[in-house]
Amino acid sequence: MVNPTAAMLVIGDEILSGRTRDANMHYLAGELAKHGIDLKEVRIVSDDEAAIITAVKALAGAYDHVFTSGGIGPTHDDITADCIAKAFGAHLDVRDDARAILQAHYDTQGLEMNEARLRMARIPDGAELIDNPVSAAPGFTLGNVHVMAGVPMIFQAMVASVIPKLTGGQPMLSQTLRVMRGEGEIAGPLRLLAEGYEDLSVGCYPFQKDGVFGANVVIRGTDGARIDAAMTELAKELEQ
Amino acid sequence: MVNPTAAMLVIGDEILSGRTRDANMHYLAGELAKHGIDLKEVRIVSDDEAAIITAVKALAGAYDHVFTSGGIGPTHDDITADCIAKAFGAHLDVRDDARAILQAHYDTQGLEMNEARLRMARIPDGAELIDNPVSAAPGFTLGNVHVMAGVPMIFQAMVASVIPKLTGGQPMLSQTLRVMRGEGEIAGPLRLLAEGYEDLSVGCYPFQKDGVFGANVVIRGTDGARIDAAMTELAKELEQ
């Protein structure tokens, strides 16, 4: 069985300008790995209609799922819903189900439903709403694209509600061996190991700490017994 | 004058698997902003030849500069140099200048130049070396693509040596106003401001702290006086 594939599209000038460090990608990557969905590609684009539409079309055509973050709030720079609708040729307008959710939330909070807030009830025809337990304004799934908020707390809540509904695969398992030798010393054995275990991914991630070179060797795959076997072989090889 | 544009390509399974949180993008974004080069897009792909080549070609064709991070070490999963050479149709082999740099470094460290380490002297024909003051193994610039290491300390040193050589533009300036009101309250005035200052970018980034909704309004542009004017207008408007 081959795991489903996914891509992520991060939308936001604030990431590309260096103002904000994205936190959502790392979170999504971890959640997808647990659910057996392979994250294959991430793109980050600015709040620009053409850039968003181009990226959504490319990713939705290439992968089983696309997860977007950012650009679904009430302000003028929140254009994600418009772009997704255009990418799919879907009609976009205020939808009664989304409006009712927002109205109930604002009533509770004693806030007025103004024009800006109503923008967040604009949902493409045919999309399914994604629950937002933090601030009510829903995300949505249209086709294979899951449109979520950029604020990390809301993004995470939306991921938690979307992922369990998706068909997963075999969770990606991994083991790490921390080696206090430079990559150049262990590259030979690692290559042989990778060739002997083509069903696994053998990665080597160097670090330098207090002037000493070391590397984390990470063996990844879906078969725990195979990872055990490879790791045992590696540990024995590097012991010599 | 229009600022030069740039894209970044992060290469690494360890980011997509959720194991490692990328740190290089945020650093590069900040450095480019200071130098007046506009970072327009970031892509993250796995250690996969086809994925890397496709992304490099797309980005190198669309932007003035492409910065890559990751995949230039001595192990079997370090395939970036091969992919960049293929993308440009350039010949790749051990180059004497790179080999001499590595040999001098290993001589000093009392390390042996083995086959794995020699891999790091493989540089495409026509490429210019990028200095690596941390661990010697150079990066390189081929065409408009700057190929750099993934280890943050080395990546940062390489960025510091590459960026001053590039023609920059007007540094992107910004001012932030922290507003302790929900986005939905200030969206109207923000839209009017954005319409009145089309040469500036007006972004609104909500947050929630201790149950209170707030937003950072960020006004960005290259003309400091215009930003001052817009910020003054905004502060006055929101005061009412």
The three-point CA angle B32-B35-B40 to 5° equals: 35
Distance, first Cα to last Cα, chain A: 37
Residues of A in contact with B73 (CB under 8 A): 183, 187, 204, 206
Amino acid at B111: L
Please, where are the H alpha helices in A36-95?
49-62, 80-88
Whether A9 contacts A59, CB under 8 Å: yes
Yes or no, beta carbons of A43 and B43 under 8 Å apart? yes
Q: How confident is the model at residue A240 (pLDDT cuts 50, 70, 90)?
A: low
Query: Does the pLDDT value for residue B172 go beyond 70?
Result: yes
Q: What is the rounded CA–CA span in Å between residue A210 and residue A224?
A: 34
- CA B202 to CA B122: how far, in whole Å? 45
Query: Any idea how long chain A is?
Result: 240
Verify whether the Cβ–Cβ distance A42 to B47 is below 8 Å: no
pLDDT tens sequence across A199-213 = 999 999 988 878 788
- Please give the residue of chain A at the shortest CA–CA distance from B176: A19
Taking the CA of residue B119 and the nearest CA in chain A, the distance in Å comes to: 9
pLDDT tens digits for A101-141? Answer: 999 999 998 999 999 999 999 999 999 999 999 989 999 99
Q: What is residue A63's DSSP assignment?
A: S
Task: Provide the pLDDT confidence category of residue B3 given band limits of 50, 70 and 90.
Answer: very high
Q: Do A204 and B73 touch (CB under 8 A)?
A: yes
Q: How many CB atoms lie within 10 A of CB B206?
A: 21
- Measured in whole angstroms, how far is the alpha carbon of residue B229 from the centre of its chain? 30
d(Cα A55, Cα A58) in Å, to the nearest integer?
A: 5
**What pLDDT sits at residue A208?**
80
Query: A118 — contact with chain B (CB < 8 Å)?
Result: no
Q: What is the pLDDT of residues B127-170, one digit of tens each?
A: 999 999 998 999 999 999 999 999 999 999 999 999 999 999 99
At B108-125, the pLDDT tens digits run 989 999 999 999 999 999
pLDDT, position B212: 82
Is there a contact between A137 and A120 (Cβ–Cβ < 8 Å)?
yes
- Yes or no, beta carbons of A208 and B26 under 8 Å apart: no
Domain boundaries, chain B: 5-165, 173-239
Dist CA B130 CA B166 (whole Å): 13
CB-based contacts of A237, cutoff 8 Å, min separation 6: A189, A192, A193
**Any idea what the Cα angle at residue B8 is, between residues B3 and B10, rounded to 5°?**
170
Element (H, E) at B221: strand B212-221
Q: Are B33 and B171 in contact (CB under 8 A)?
A: yes
Mean pLDDT (whole number) for B20-29: 95
Can you read off the two tokens belonging to residue A234? 């590696």
Which helix (H) or strand (E) element contains residue B45?
A: strand B38-45
Burial class (CB in 10 A: 0-12, 13-18, 19+), A178: exposed
* Interchain CB contact of A41 with B (< 8 Å): yes
Mean pLDDT across the stretch A75-82? 96
Q: Looking at CA atoms only, how far is residue A22 from chain B in angstroms?
A: 8
Q: Do domains A5-165 and A173-239 have the same CATH topology?
A: no
- Within chain B, where are the H helices? 13-16, 24-35, 49-62, 80-88, 96-109, 115-119, 152-162, 183-196, 224-239
Q: Do A203 and B77 touch (CB under 8 A)?
A: yes
* Three-state secondary structure call for residue A45: strand
How much of chain A, in percent, has pLDDT values that exceed 70? 99
Helix (H) or strand (E) holding A15, with range, is helix A13-16
**DSSP 3-state of B194:** helix
Instruction: Give yes or no for a contact between B124 and B92, defined as CB atoms under 8 angstroms apart.
Output: yes
**Residue A200 DSSP symbol:** S
Give the mean model confidence (pLDDT) for residues A7-23.
93
ipTM of model over 0.90: yes
Residue keyed to tokens 């109930």: A104
- Give the single-character DSSP code of A172: P
Amino acid in the structure at residue A49: E
One DSSP character per residue, B71-135 reads: --SSSTT--HHHHHHHHHT--EEE-HHHHHHHHHHHHHHT----HHHHHTTEEETTPEEE--TTT
Inter-chain residue contact A77 with B204, CB threshold 8 Å: yes
Instruction: Return d(Cα B141, Cα B145) in angstroms, integer.
Output: 6
Residues 42-81, chain B, touching A (beta carbon < 8 A): 42-47, 51, 73-77
CA dist list (Å): A229 to A179, A196, A223: 18, 11, 10
Chain A positions touching B40 (Cβ under 8 A) are 16, 45-46, 51
CA atoms within 13 A on the CB side of A28: 31
Of B70, B73, B131, nearest to B104 by C-alpha is: B131
pLDDT surpasses 60 at B240: no
B16, B28, B201: residue with CB nearest A39: B16
CATH of domain A173-239: 3.30.70
Whether B201 has its CB under 8 Å from any CB of chain A: the answer is yes
Q: Which two structure tokens, joined as six digits, stand for B152? A: 């943050």
Cα A210 to the chain's mean position, in Å?
Answer: 34
B166 sits in the region (left: phi over 0; alpha: psi -120 to 50; else beta) called beta
Q: How confident is the model at residue B2 (pLDDT cuts 50, 70, 90)?
A: confident
Topology, domain A5-165: Molybdenum Cofactor Biosythetic Enzyme; Chain A (3.40.980)
